[in-house]
Amino acid sequence: MLFNSYEFIFIFLPLALIVFFGLSAYRQVKAATLWLLLASLVFYGYWRISYIPLLLISILGNYYFGRWIDGVQPGTKKAKTLLWAGVLFNLGILGYYKYAGFLIASINGLFQTQFPVPAIELPLGISFYSFTQIAYLVDAYRGQTKDYQYDLVSYSLFVTFFPQLIAGPILRHDELIPQFTQLRKFVFSHKNVAIGLSFFILGLGKKVLIADTVSPWVGAVFEQADSITFIEAWVGAIAYTLQLYFDFSGYSDMAIGLGWMFNFRLPINFDSPYKSTSIVDFWRRWHITLSFFLRDYLYIALGGSRRGQVRRYFNLLLTMLLGGLWHGAGWTYILWGWLHGTFLVINHGWRRLGLKMPVAIAWVITFLAVVLSWVVFRAENITQAGQIIQAAVGLKGIILTPDFQPLLGWLPQSVVQFREVAQLPALPPNYRQSFVILAVVLMGAVLLPNTQQMVERFKPTTAWAVGLSAVAIACLLSLNRISEFLYFQF
């Protein structure tokens, strides 16, 4: 079920809230918790009910692995054996459904074999709920879950809580499960619902009014990668940069808002990443819960920076390579991870040398690195990514319309030519409109406060009500063009 659908907004969500707080009003806390679990399973199964058994097997397996690990002495050989068994249980499920086809296809391509490639459909949210539960098992091994003694219903709700189940944020056990035992969480709060609605409406606006608006330009450019011009390449690259951010951060805002409505707090997942002035800064702001997971459960486990600079850089590269592979079974994701690992190594090396540069230049370099790496992330294959990047860096020639001459007229004609372009097939007929829209949206992402900063200023005033109502109405009028969230495919 999609957050940006009439069924969710007008049927599922009101019903889930009414029954949850109705049971809570009669002090039926366990029944309210069980209702939220059942509602979450319905939410997940609405897309395809055949996914539910796999989800339940994953939950039951990890719950009992966690209990078994809790029952032995932390750090012992038995605890380590149980941990690895649990991790392999998760990786086995994830590997089969997400990577088996990619692995066999890669072997066929490398060795010219003809092994049949299985057509395995990727279950929704499998990467997110697998990582969530691997983190839980590692925390159990570290002795961090012994004091909680979670019951099966609470643990199951932690994994399946519908706002975050399909695309995060990636939660840790102690960020959500203890909230299920706090009685005040089961008391209806007008203020929390108002804050939650603010998050939800702003997130829905990001998705419906911004991400879905620039989406057509992205598809057109990537589909014609072999013939696009310099202008088209940059429009496509920047449009995808903005589409991905507003789509995914919009989903995260809606998830956080839904948590507020039920009185539960979910962690912030984005903090204005396109304001970053370094790649290190970018990864502190982009998909924050994944960054924390990669740092705490992979980078540090590999040794972090404790074994010298060379090993530190190797650990950074390996962590980002695996982070790229987590996003999808494809060489483009691996290359994207390698690029960001390389960027991080360069960034840390620069800092180690004590070098500095003007903030504006640092922002430009960081933003361009991110944009061009997103091209690799979005491309269907490395050839397509290479074609778009070649056009973007001018290897296919740079021809600009006269609109750009006041800004770039100082460049020699051997570098760039200014003339009317007869046709830009990858862009809409009124392509100048796309320039304006992208410029305005980018300036908003860089200069304006982000969603959480806006909601921090929330006050129940007429201005807030009118503004949010206007955004909500605009979104509802646009729901006839419902589209999936981009991170559903990862």
Beta strands in 165-263 (DSSP E): none
C-alpha–C-alpha distance, residues 257 and 195, integer Å: 7
> What would the two tokens of residue 413 be?
């004609």
Place of tokens 């996914």: 51
CA gap 252, 452 in Å, rounded: 11
Residue 264 CA to residue 238 CA, distance in Å, equals 35
Cα gap 31→45, rounded to integer Å: 21
Give counts: helices (H), strands (E), the chain. Answer: 22, 2
Kindly list the catalytic residues: 327
Residue 40 in contact with residue 160, Cβ under 8 Å? yes
Q: Report the C-alpha gap between 23 and 26 in whole angstroms.
A: 5
Task: From residue 127, give the alpha-carbon distance in Å to each of 54, 91, 290, 329.
Answer: 13, 10, 11, 11
- Residue 63, SS3 per DSSP: helix
Helix (H, G, I), strand (E, B) or coil at 366: helix
d(CA 332, CA 382): 6
DSSP-derived 3-state class of residue 478: coil
Beta-ladder partners of 417? 399
Neighbours of 76 (CB within 10 A): 11
Q: Which of 38, 33, 49 is nearest to 12 (CA)?
A: 38
- Cα(233)–Cα(231) distance, rounded to whole angstroms? 5
| Nearest CA-CA partner of 84 in 314, 300, 301 | 301
